[in-house]
Amino acid sequence: MAHTMELAVDSALEKKWADEKEEKNIRWLKVEIKEEKLSLTGSSKEGGGEAAMKELAGGCADDPFYGIVRGTDDNEWVVVAFIPDTAKVKSRMQYASTLNHLKKVLGASVIGDVRCSEKDEITWSTVEELVSKKKGKTSNEDAMTDKEKEMASLNAEVAKEMQSADKHSAIENCALKFPIADEAKAALEKGSKNEDGHTVVVLDTENEKITLCSKHDSLQSAVDSLGDGSRFICLNHKNENDDNKECQVFVYYASDSCPFKKRLQYASSKSTAVEHASNAGYSFAKTLEFTEKSEVCAKEINEALKPSAEEDEPKRIKPKAPGRGGMRMLI
């Protein structure tokens, strides 16, 4: 699942980019994601070629960044996206998913992008090669929509994770394996036996741990506590489609107003939260996702629990075509 990330641009970057259109004397700009904004963190007017690219690549090898580099002509710019394999998964996906938005903000003077995972890949020859290709013929990427480019970028990040030799499995690589706090574990164990009613489990992004937010004896009470963030809800629910028999439902609530970085963390740790709840005794009939609080209600949950039309409809057995009978002796 791809997430669209359209971050605000800080005023320093906007001013620098506007000034450059008149001055035309900047070799590169360095942009990083700071506090949910595309922020200008460096620039250079000096020189060109490999020396300029070496200067751009300076800094911590684990920190992703974007380099906006002037090509061979004044009005040709290339975005160098440095996303190292050693960076955290959430940071890598954040930079990968916002690349196309950055190019859109910069405008038509950006002719393409180069994606690097090693510092020694940030070279002038790489930029020149891209410029040459763009002048020669249209590449497959040029024919892709922004959504297709974003999907390809995110798929590349997932593919890197799946190929990583020091991870236990592909599934573990794509999920954030946060531990669960003792208090949350105890609440889940009681909730699975319907001793505490509805349990809301909150992901603590500071301590990278799944912790207990609150416990409620009604769904409405739990919904009222959600706020504008994201939550995991383990719910004991009476299924109207099955004579009000009790079943258990896992709800992932992600408000659209929640910051993208936090939504990404929740989405990446959802399978871990389900696993913790299952280990505590839950047996979920359904896993649901909602973005509006008004959707988290008995009516919507019952609708989601309805058997599909295929399950309700009796199977029709097609009669066999009349055969010629068994073996016959020819006289």
Work out whether the CA dihedral 102, 108, 11, 32 comes out positive or negative. positive
Q: Can you read off the two tokens belonging to residue 236?
A: 């004991």
Q: How many CB atoms lie within 10 A of CB 89?
A: 18
Please give the pLDDT value at position 310.
52
d(CA 58, CA 230): 37
Task: State residue 136's pLDDT score.
Answer: 65
Residue 169 identity: S
**Contact predicate 30/65, CB 8 Å:** yes
Q: Which amino acid is at 263?
A: R
pLDDT of residue 81: 92
Instruction: Give the CA count within 13 Å in the CB-facing half-sphere of 159.
Output: 7
Q: How many other CB atoms are there within 10 angstroms of residue 228's CB atom?
A: 10
pLDDT, position 316: 54
CA gap 108, 100 in Å, rounded = 12
**221 token code pair:** 């009470």
Phi, psi of 267 (to 5 degrees): -60, -40
CA distance 217 to 221: 7
How far apart are the C-alpha atoms of 284 and 304, rounded to whole Å? 13
* pLDDT the model gives residue 331: 44
In whole angstroms, give the CA distance from residue 219 to residue 238: 11
Digits of tens for pLDDT over the chain (331 positions)?
445 577 889 999 989 888 887 777 888 999 999 888 999 999 888 666 788 888 888 866 678 999 999 887 667 889 999 998 888 877 888 898 899 889 888 888 888 898 998 888 888 888 888 888 876 644 455 555 555 555 566 556 555 554 443 433 433 444 678 899 999 999 899 888 887 666 666 666 667 788 888 888 888 888 888 877 888 999 888 899 889 898 999 999 988 778 777 888 888 888 999 999 999 999 999 999 998 888 999 999 999 998 875 555 555 555 555 555 544 544 4
Place of tokens 């922020």: 39
Q: How far is CA 162 from the centre of its chain?
A: 15
| Degrees to nearest 5, angle at CA 134 with 131 and 136 | 110
- 212 contacts 202 by C-beta, under 8 angstroms: yes
